[in-house]
Structure 1
Amino acid sequence: MKKLAEINWKEAEKELKGKTVILPLGAVEAHGYHLPLSTDNYIAQKIAEIAAEKLDALLLPLIPYGQVWSLRNFPGSISLSDQTLISMIGDLAKSLDHHGVEILIIINAHFGNKSALKKAERLIKEKYDIQILRFTHPGLKDLERKYIESSRVHPNYLHAEEIETSMMLQVNSDLVDMSKAEADSPEIPEYFSSYSVPWDQITNKAVLGDPTQATKEKGKKLIKGIAAKIVEIVNNFEKGVE
């Protein structure tokens, strides 16, 4: 696996033109008492590295910030606006298109970035030839049914619970303090998916679910499964556009 940050411009000329590149995208936000603020970054980086190896794609440097409106009131959380994130992705795509890149794969580990990524992709399609594929844990629901013991607090959300904690244990267990892992299963109002609610109004721990059942082995299976699903989808996409 080659990383753009570690090669020179002549090597980049060969690695970019007509090729596929992978961009990991995360966030800096509160993840309970037991996980680091950059949990999403570590997870995105690891999945991107596995996918880049399998796809023989060039790995771009991680974008470490995202849209974290929901958790912005927890100390340490740093949020970009949707428009800032859209502009960043658009500018990156413009440069990569200029250098002849054929496909940009964005591997995102923060659900709050999804809306901006979709908008960015559509704007890029109108301006450039580069193809964009965006992923936020594809195949997770199937993997969850196989390996995860606890239930989600809300069907559309997960945060610092068994899934994310397991993945972080696999990626960098030195940054996980399971002695501080605490479950939080707040009552989610019925209007939660229809009305924006800062998460400090529903959880004082920045946790949605139960991290105490997390294990490194579960995390290994989740990360491996997500990466495999990305590779499968990309290979099918490449066949479809040939």
Structure 2
Amino acid sequence: MYLGDVSWPEAGTHLDATDVALVPVGSTEQHGPHLPLSTDHVIAEGLAREAADRAGVVCTPTITVGVSPHHRQFHGTMSVEAPVFRDYVESLSRSLVYQGIDRIVYVNAHGGNVEHLREVGRRLHEDGAAYAVEWMWDESIPDLVDDLFEQNGPHAGPKETSMVWYLADNVREDELADARDGGCPALEDIRTTYNGARLFYDAIENSDNGAFGDPTDATAAKGERLFEAASEQLADLAEWLAAQPWETLAPREHVRSRDESKR
């Protein structure tokens, strides 16, 4: 159930029925010449809404701007500073706790958000406010992603192109070949590390047009397969969280000293 669509009395009924909220989190950033800036938050919201309905939990409105400084050179990219993003997500999460939610899944579709969402989860867990976890859609179905695409790519490649094609039918088909040829179709062709050191900061250092992988391998049908599989994984996670006794999720007490344990 999507909270933004209901009245406050209706929201109260739904919130009384569950302890779990799905919070879709994406970005507004370049995704090559063939995909919209909204790619990540379109994917996150689509998955969160679907899984919430399947699992009988609530879905919040979407966080549409994330931590994206590594795409700053491309027109239209928006980003917030990491500490601001963390504080915002934490504040939003604590407002959910006030409404009776104590289990949160950040339904994430942007790699730049990962470490910051996990840090927010740690903050909430340390003081026992909520059990909050970051969930990245493609990491829930890695075998399927590998099976569907020869040259996947971590950003603006065929997996994201397929998902946007299925969810929003918002792919510039005439730009697919240029996205591949003017980007970085094969990651093995570029040097990204040297003796364990990461050698780049921004996407443009490795891809002139911001795309990675071969988006010409994308189809809406493949996007549907990805969406169905990832939605199932997310709904199962939400149902599992709902079934856990709070004692198994809450932070553990400090280890007792030997002297204390003898008392």
Q: Normalization by structure 2: what TM-score?
A: 0.83
Residue type matched to 2:112 in 1?
A: G
Residue pair 1:97, 1:128 contacting (<8 A) in 2 also:
no
How far apart are 1:73 and its partner, in Å?
Answer: 1.4
Find the residue that maps to 1:206 and give its secondary structure: coil
Find the residue that maps to 2:132 and give its secondary structure: strand
Q: Which residue of 2 aligns with 1:165?
A: 161
How far apart are 1:206 and its partner, in Å?
Answer: 0.6
How far apart are 1:94 and its partner, in Å?
Answer: 1.1
Map 1:82-231 to 2 at 5 A.
82-137=82-137, 138-152=139-153, 158-173=154-169, 175-181=170-176, 182-183=179-180, 184-185=183-184, 187-191=190-194, 194-231=198-235
Matched residues in 2 for 1:128 and 1:104: separation? 13
Residue pair 2:26, 2:109 contacting (<8 A) in 1 also:
yes
Change (3 A) 1:47 1:15: same
Residue type matched to 1:171 in 2?
A: L
Residue type matched to 1:187 in 2?
A: I
Residue pair 2:2, 2:49 contacting (<8 A) in 1 also:
no
Matched residues in 1 for 2:241 and 2:62: separation? 23
How far apart are 1:150 and its partner, in Å?
Answer: 2.4
Structure 2: give runs of 5+ residues left out of the alignment: 247-263
Residue pair 2:40, 2:110 contacting (<8 A) in 1 also:
yes
Matched residues in 2 for 1:7 and 1:151: separation? 38
How far apart are 1:126 and its partner, in Å?
Answer: 2.0
Q: Which residue of 2 aligns with 1:52?
A: 52
Matched residues in 2 for 1:31 and 1:86: separation? 23
Deviations 1:104-148 (A, max 9, x none): 221011111001001111011123432213211132311112222
How far apart are 1:235 and its partner, in Å?
Answer: 2.8
Of 224-233 and 112-121, deviating more is 224-233
> How many positions carry a matched residue from both structures?
235
Matched residues in 2 for 1:212 and 1:53: separation? 32
How far apart are 1:165 and its partner, in Å?
Answer: 0.5
Residue type matched to 2:190 in 1?
A: E
Residue pair 1:94, 1:128 contacting (<8 A) in 2 also:
no
Find the residue that maps to 2:133 and give its secondary structure: strand
Q: Normalization by structure 1: what TM-score?
A: 0.90
Structure 1: give runs of 5+ residues left out of the alignment: 153-157
How far apart are 1:26 and its partner, in Å?
Answer: 0.6
Select the structure of larger CA radius of gyration.
Answer: 2
Change (3 A) 1:76 1:52: same
Runs of 4+ more than 4 Å apart:
none
Matched residues in 2 for 1:4 and 1:151: separation? 34
How far apart are 1:33 and its partner, in Å?
Answer: 0.7
